């Protein structure tokens, strides 16, 4: 199934190693705009356990990170309300890339260029393992979602659109 190619280190995997966080590596053939659904299909994973990392910004253009199930969308209105912000919107790809240091489609919440507040869909934290981008297109890492809380101080929110 998964062609287990070794991927050279990324800022995300370097951060996880520094903090002694265990993870598994899963490579797949990146497809433009394929998203988490395409990764789940190629790797034979539950799309609900494949999570996406979104770089968004508030009303003052301050960046923030949202981690969401791959098969759900974020209610930016609910996120703004729960985060105590006036407005939240996705960043333009070039802006997201400047904030995270990662190419869009390869964004990890770990090892970002700028330290940003991280919000995570509460139900993601209930999964035993999530598959999240490891810092490169076509590269997921399987990890305990509690690492988001421990390393990034991720705060749970309920912002998934059904």
For 13-34, what is each residue's pLDDT tens digit?
999 999 999 999 999 999 988 9
Mean pLDDT of 59-71: 97
Kindly report the average pLDDT of the chain as a whole number: 94
- pLDDT of 44 above 50: yes
Helix (H) or strand (E) holding 29: none
- CA 133 to CA 120: how far, in whole Å? 14
- pLDDT of 2 above 60: no
- CA 65 to CA 121: how far, in whole Å? 11
The strand ranges marked E within the chain are 24-27, 51-58, 63-69, 73-74, 88-90, 118-121, 130-136, 139-143, 155-157, 160-161
Mean pLDDT of 55-63: 97
% of the chain surpassing 70 pLDDT: 95
pLDDT band at 8 (very low <50, low <70, confident <90, very high): confident
pLDDT digits (tens, 9 = 90+) for 89-144: 999 999 999 999 999 999 999 999 999 999 999 999 999 999 999 999 999 999 99
- Can you give the pLDDT at residue 6? 62
- Can you give the pLDDT at residue 74? 97
Domains and CATH numbers, the chain: 11-161 (3.90.960.10)
- Can you give the pLDDT at residue 1? 41
Mean pLDDT of 40-51: 95
**Which of 90, 94, 107 is CA-nearest to residue 141?**
107
């Amino acid at each position: 199934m998964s062609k287990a190619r070794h991927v050279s280190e990324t800022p995300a995997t370097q951060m996880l190693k520094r903090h002694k966080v265990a993870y598994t590596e899963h490579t797949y053939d990146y497809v433009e705009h394929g998203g988490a659904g395409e990764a789940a299909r190629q790797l034979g994973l539950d799309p609900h356990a494949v999570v996406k990392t979104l770089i968004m910004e508030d009303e003052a253009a301050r960046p923030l990170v949202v981690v969401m199930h791959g098969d759900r969308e974020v209610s930016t209105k609910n996120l703004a309300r729960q985060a105590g912000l006036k407005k939240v919107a996705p960043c333009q790809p070039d802006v997201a890339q400047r904030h995270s240091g990662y190419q869009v489609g390869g964004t990890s919440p770990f090892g970002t260029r700028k330290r940003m507040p991280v919000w995570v869909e509460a139900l993601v934290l209930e999964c035993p393992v999530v598959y999240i981008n490891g810092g490169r297109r076509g590269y997921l890492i399987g990890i305990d979602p509690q690492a988001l809380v421990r390393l990034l101080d991720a705060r749970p929110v309920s912002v998934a659109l059904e």
